[in-house]
Amino acid sequence: MKRIVLTFGLIAGAILSGMMLVNMKFIDEIGFDRSTIIGYTTMVLAFLMTYFGTRSYRDNVAGGVISFGRGLKVALLIAFVATICYVATWEVIYHKFAPDFGDKYAAHAIEKAKQKGATQAELDKETKRMADFKKMYRNPLINVALTFLEPLPVGLLASLISAGLLKRKEAVSS
């Protein structure tokens, strides 16, 4: 199981990390909103590896049979490996290439509130919220935890779907 989890997890992680690098390279051109859409679309595509990895485990290791629980375990481990790659890539980008990310994100959030017609009181509240976020985000543990939480729902959903689709009580005869 370890080989399959690592292989498919690292493939998914490479997809996530590669797109994050491209996204961050062009963040000023594409903007935060489009970057978010591209990022989550990439997560969905990358977490397809939970399906392919679980199917590979079922067909090549488990003799064509897999329970929902075992399938979920394999898929979650693949998603975990991919998420670790995602977090590691972000930490390198953030600390080495984009230490001003918090400032840019805060400016974007405040500008977005202005465009929606926020009152001065609402803008003041958003400005304070963003200042608190930037301060909190400088804490490495919180930074890692928040980054880990970004792909987590997508990975969990992909794992549940994969385990459900691939469960099989008896081997299919050829």
pLDDT score, position 172:
75
Tokens of 45: 């595509």
Over residues 41-75, the pLDDT tens digits come to 999 999 999 999 999 999 999 999 999 999 999 99
Residue given tokens 């400088």 in the structure block: 138
* Side chain identity at residue 82, one-letter code: A
- pLDDT digit string (tens) for 9-49? 999 999 999 999 999 999 889 999 999 999 999 999 999 99
pLDDT band for position 171 (50/70/90)?
Answer: confident
- Check residue 174 and give its pLDDT: 58
pLDDT-wise least confident of 5-19, 64-78, 92-106, 146-160: 92-106
Tokens 């469960």 sit on residue = 167
Q: Are 54 and 163 in contact (CB under 8 A)?
A: yes
Q: How many CB atoms lie within 10 A of CB 24?
A: 18
Q: What pLDDT, on a 0 to 100 scale, did the predictor assign at position 170?
A: 84
